[in-house]
Structure 1
Amino acid sequence: MTNFVQFQLTGNAKSTDSLGDSAKFLQGQITANVNKIDKHFLPTAICNLKGRVLFGFWLKKIENGFLIVLSDDLADDFANHVKKYGAFSKIQLNEKSPIYPTIIDNSPTFSDNLADENWQDWQQLSIAQGNYWITKTTSELFQPQELRLHQRGGVDYDKGCYMGQEIIARLWFKASPKAWLHRVSMASENDFTDKIQVVNQVQNENGIEALVIARPEELANVKILDLPNELQKSVAREH
């Protein structure tokens, strides 16, 4: 079971523009446009310099900053990243605290209340909706476009610079990924080949259901399942 934690990123307490300071820092880090983030969780990412997702997380606006939810096994690395890149910014990151996967209005989300935790249903619905989660094991493996993050509002190709932006933009405007996110069903893990990269998986009565990154031709021996309509489109840019 994956444990999730939350951080609050705010401006320095002495700052006269707490929200603006935290927003300015995040704008230079995340793949999404911070100006489009509201009080609902948005999936987004911080990438490494090679344009691969270093931290995949969910982000929403709070009163004086932003709430960030990510896998607990990446929490210490994330805190160190913010400390390193935010050393000269007027921001502060609070200590991590637990947050629990739950479902509200048929959507996977999170709650501060342990009694709301519903891990099994959350991961099954998340896989059905393409709501992948990045852990230490899958950190730095995938590009945002391969994960269809842009189709979920988590990448803005028209914003300014951020970590890995040059490579991510080049892939979008001048090329296209050869492999991308699919939802699949298979009888067992033996159906996986070394050319199918598993992002998340869950056991069910039929075997295994998973989100994978693969070229379509590598999925001949597994059953491809539908994703939501917005994630059924080509991952390439329409010219």
Structure 2
Amino acid sequence: MNTPLANASDASDAPGTAAGIAPAAPAAPAALPVLPRPPAGEFAAVLEHGAYMPLTQFGVIEATGDDAASFLHSQLTNDVQHLDAAHARLTGYCSAKGRLLASFLSWRSGDAIRLLVSKDVQAAVQKRLSMFVLRAKAKLADASGELAVVGLAGDVRRALSGVFDALPDGVHVQVDGAAGSLIRVPDAFERLRYLWIGPKAQVEALQPSLDDKLTRVSPAVWDWLDIRAGEPRITQPVVEQFVPQMVNYDVLGAVNFRKGCYPGQEVVARSQYRGTIKRRTSLANVAGELEAVRPGTELFHSDDPAQPCGMIVNAASAQEGGVDLLAEVKLAALESGTVHLGAADGPALRFIALPYGLPAEV
């Protein structure tokens, strides 16, 4: 089955347009602020005991209605139709050309399906998705105002046991309680990590119980932990830059190659099965600060200064100095020479092993 978006022509591939619908003037997205470098003690809090951080960089889209699951299933790269109440799934939303417009963590909350998304792309992707609901019994709403999102990392189980009756025992396992949803996400530095999403007033009322046991730290620490977990996030500067495999989403379980059609599905499948994956995302560190090391910044190889060999996907201030980043790079550029920020004579990237393996490409 083809979705309306999958059949759209190149001219209607811009966000917020569809056949028969006049394109509206796009609203300028609100850029995410550059978060200050956290103090050394905040990095140490995660690694040495435990910390929590309100995550203002995320928004939540809530899908409701009898057809909410089937509609999202027809639009996203992962299986939403069979998403159960005990698990969350990473997924992507692509243009008709197979390029990622957004990335989500999806989970069920009661009768709703919720999508955690970078706040700077939320309005655009929510509008675009809504235009393709058509006759489906589904409604998308911005739930960010009613919900709080909190990240917890390190030795946090005792603190969480005072809020939830049970804790998730595996990655992307979810438990629900009176305080909302608790989802375990991939570890970083072999430290446990959880997302707590619940009613804002209730979460704020319970936060003092966390203060007794954990250190409250900057949301910038969560960005750093996501990078060190090797999990890319699509933000506004890199919208429509990557097919899912370029950011390792096939490896991370964010693409279901057995599900039905979705926008860009043919491109994504062709990349997977015809051996055309020539670019992957790697973990690296580079000297500098976030003002100069930003998502969307091009990378250049020492032997080919004329054209970029990659792009920064995500970046965050690093504990040991400089910036840790996830960089999408041509695989050939990693075989010899060096990769540099901004120009072939810019700061050199120091590559770090990802916490998971990548398939051998041919």
Pick the TM interval, shorter chain. 0.7 to 0.9
Over the residues paired in the alignment, what is the CA RMSD in angstroms? 2.4
Percentage of identical aligned residues? 25
Q: Structure 1: which amino acid aligns with 2:309?
A: K
Which structure has the greater CA radius of gyration?
2
Check 1:186–1:217 CA distance in 2 against 1; reply closer, same or farther (3 A cut): farther
Correspondence for 1:211 among 304, 326, 337: 326
Matches within 5 A, 1:144-223: 144-188=244-288, 192-193=299-300, 194-204=308-318, 205-219=320-334, 220=338, 221-223=348-350
Check 1:141–1:227 CA distance in 2 against 1; reply closer, same or farther (3 A cut): same
Corresponding residue number in structure 2 for 1:85: 132
1:58–1:68 CA contact under 8 A, matched in 2: yes
1:201–1:211 CA contact under 8 A, matched in 2: yes
1:7 aligned to 2:61?
yes
TM-score between the two structures when normalised by the length of structure 1: 0.85
Other structure's SS at 2:251 match: helix
2:70–2:81 CA contact under 8 A, matched in 1: no
Corresponding residue number in structure 1 for 2:240: 140
Other structure's SS at 2:241 match: coil
Q: CA deviation at 1:85?
A: 0.5
Q: CA deviation at 1:34?
A: 1.7
Q: CA deviation at 1:179?
A: 1.1
1:72 aligned to 2:93?
no
2:63–2:139 CA contact under 8 A, matched in 1: yes
Counterpart-to-counterpart distance in 1, 2:275 and 2:235: 27
Other structure's SS at 1:146 match: helix
Please identify, of 161-170 and 118-127, the stretch whose mean Cα deviation from structure 2 is larger: 118-127
Please identify, of 51-60 and 91-100, the stretch whose mean Cα deviation from structure 2 is larger: 91-100
1:146–1:235 CA contact under 8 A, matched in 2: no
TM-score between the two structures when normalised by the length of structure 2: 0.57
Corresponding residue number in structure 1 for 2:354: 227
Please identify, of 199-208 and 139-148, the stretch whose mean Cα deviation from structure 2 is larger: 199-208
1:30–1:163 CA contact under 8 A, matched in 2: yes
2:278–2:361 CA contact under 8 A, matched in 1: no
The structure where helix makes up a greater share of residues is 1
Correspondence for 2:100 among 29, 53, 63: 53
| Cα deviation 1:115-166 (Å, max 9, x = unaligned) | 5775122111100111221111111111101111111111011111111001
Q: CA deviation at 1:102?
A: 0.8
Corresponding residue number in structure 1 for 2:193: 107
Counterpart-to-counterpart distance in 1, 2:352 and 2:224: 13
Q: Which runs of 5+ in 2 are unaligned?
A: 1-32, 34-55, 157-191, 208-215, 301-307, 339-347
Counterpart-to-counterpart distance in 2, 1:236 and 1:40: 30
Correspondence for 1:33 among 50, 75, 79: 79
Q: Structure 2: which amino acid aligns with 1:222?
A: L
Check 1:217–1:108 CA distance in 2 against 1; reply closer, same or farther (3 A cut): farther
Q: Which runs of 5+ in 1 are unaligned?
A: 12-17
Other structure's SS at 2:235 match: coil
